[in-house]
């Protein structure tokens, strides 16, 4: 770690073998890469194949080039096709008069060095790909955006379990980092689950009755709220789960009001109209209020009419964050 940057060896990226790494390092000694197109044209694509480049994109290795990961994946096949043609021509001594710029772009394709206009992947998708490529998260944590809900519904985090009493009932929120299923002597399925939160992880024992009710949730990627009693040993603490629900389900079931906290200056009429459209798209049973903040001056809370009741879901958080550039939603 150096100031606000972190160096991570490319050899540790899943799917990037030694041959591919050697090819990348060899050409990078000559000159740094300027774009995805430049990268694909210079490395040996027989060693650095599509799977390798996808893994590098997903872990964020191309971030310094300025594009979005979604953009790189969208054009990767097209870029590799052009680069392979260029490399083949060079090998045959038939290099195009104008180099890569002369390669014909397929209908609907993008010019050399160009990337399509598109949004970055949703945060949960981006983080999922980081975990897939590296084995851990870099740019954030899937639970970070749910901090308010976790504080509201969980009674402790994994780091605080050591201070709890044996047989104490607790609720802890996390994501499944690992799961081992097994069969009991009676032929019922149960599982040992590693539940990871923002402070660490805890082993959750899921007996057959609870597993039957929550098996689909445990195999998904959504944050979960696990309730149960603690089994405190001399060196370890386990949670004996009695109920496991998605945090989404808990929020929708227990939330009564959705607060939209908007800050001026920078707030305009078009944004407010768009906010109404978002609310109409996510209709539900929760009261909605606008909390208008004028820094160092005043705060006003405005209750909205019945027809603007909304659902307490992640989608409304995502849509409003895209609209305003920051998280404005709180579930109460």
What are the residue ranges spanned by the domains of the chain?
10-134, 144-250, 255-331
**What mean pLDDT value characterizes the chain?**
88
Residue 195 CA: distances (Å) to CA of 94, 242, 313: 57, 15, 22
184 token code pair: 């009991």
217 token code pair: 């949730």
pTM above 0.75, yes or no: no
Indicate the SS3 state at residue 184. Answer: coil
At residue 94, φ and ψ (nearest 5 deg) are -120, 45
144-250 topology per CATH: OB fold (Dihydrolipoamide Acetyltransferase, E2P) (2.40.50)
Where b means 16+ CB within 10 Å and e means fewer, 262-289 reads beeeeeeeeeeebbeebbeebebebbbb
Burial-class residue 61 by CB neighbours within 10 Å (0-12, 13-18, 19+): buried
Residue 85 CA: distances (Å) to CA of 51, 74, 104, 107, 275: 19, 19, 10, 17, 48
15 token code pair: 């799917």
Residue 226, beta-bridge partner list: 172, 244
The per-residue pLDDT for range 295-306, each reduced to its tens digit, is 888 889 999 999
- List the pLDDT tens digit at each of the 332 positions of the chain: 666 666 778 888 898 889 999 989 999 998 999 999 999 999 999 999 999 999 999 999 898 888 999 999 999 999 999 888 888 887 776 555 445 454 444 444 445 567 889 988 888 888 889 888 888 888 888 888 888 889 889 999 999 998 899 999 999 999 999 999 999 999 999 999 999 999 999 999 999 999 999 999 999 889 999 999 999 988 899 999 999 999 989 988 889 999 999 988 888 899 999 999 999 999 999 999 999 998 888 889 999 999 999 999 888 988 998 898 888 998 88
Continuous segment of H or E residues that includes residue 314 = helix 314-324
Sign of the torsion formed by the C-alpha atoms of 110, 116, 121 and 122: negative
The per-residue pLDDT for range 98-123, each reduced to its tens digit, is 454 544 444 444 455 678 899 888 88
- Nearest Cα to Cα of residue 128 among 204, 193, 223, 203: 223
Indicate the SS3 state at residue 78. Answer: helix
The per-residue pLDDT for range 108-165, each reduced to its tens digit, is 444 556 788 998 888 888 888 988 888 888 888 888 888 888 988 999 999 999 889 9
CA distance 246 to 192: 18
The per-residue pLDDT for 94 is 57
CA distance 173 to 145: 13
Percent of all residues in the chain with a pLDDT value above 90, rounded to a whole number: 55
């Amino acid at each position: 770690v150096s100031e606000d940057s972190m160096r991570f060896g490319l050899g540790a990226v899943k799917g990037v073998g030694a041959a591919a790494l050697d090819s990348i390092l060899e050409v990078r000694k000559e000159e740094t890469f300027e774009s995805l197109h430049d990268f694909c044209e210079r490395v040996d694509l027989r060693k650095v194949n599509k799977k390798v480049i996808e893994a590098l994109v997903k872990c964020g290795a191309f971030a310094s080039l300025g594009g979005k990961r979604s953009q790189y994946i969208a054009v990767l096949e097209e870029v590799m096709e052009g680069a392979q043609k260029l490399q083949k021509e060079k090998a045959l001594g038939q290099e195009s008069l104008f180099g890569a710029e002369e390669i014909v772009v397929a209908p609907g394709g993008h010019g050399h060095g160009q990337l399509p206009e598109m949004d970055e992947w949703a945060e949960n998708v981006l983080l999922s790909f980081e975990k897939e490529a590296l084995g851990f998260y870099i740019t954030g944590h899937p639970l970070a955006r749910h901090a308010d809900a976790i504080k509201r519904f969980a009674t402790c985090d994994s780091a605080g379990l050591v201070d709890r009493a044996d047989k104490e009932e607790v609720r802890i929120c996390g994501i499944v980092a690992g799961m081992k299923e097994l069969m009991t002597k009676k032929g019922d399925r149960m599982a040992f689950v590693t539940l990871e939160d923002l402070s660490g992880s805890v082993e959750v024992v899921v007996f057959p009755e609870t597993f039957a009710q929550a098996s689909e949730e445990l195999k998904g990627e959504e944050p979960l709220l696990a309730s149960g009693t603690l089994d405190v040993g001399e060196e370890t603490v386990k949670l004996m789960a009695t109920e496991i629900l998605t945090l989404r389900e808990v929020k929708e079931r227990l939330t009564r009001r959705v607060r939209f906290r908007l800050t001026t200056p920078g707030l305009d009429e078009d944004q407010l109209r768009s906010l109404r459209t978002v609310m109409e798209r996510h209709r539900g049973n929760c009261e909605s209020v606008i909390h208008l903040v004028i820094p160092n001056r005043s705060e006003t809370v405005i209750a909205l009419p019945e027809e603007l009741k909304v659902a307490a879901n992640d989608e409304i958080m995502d849509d409003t964050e895209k609209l305003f550039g920051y998280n404005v939603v709180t579930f109460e």
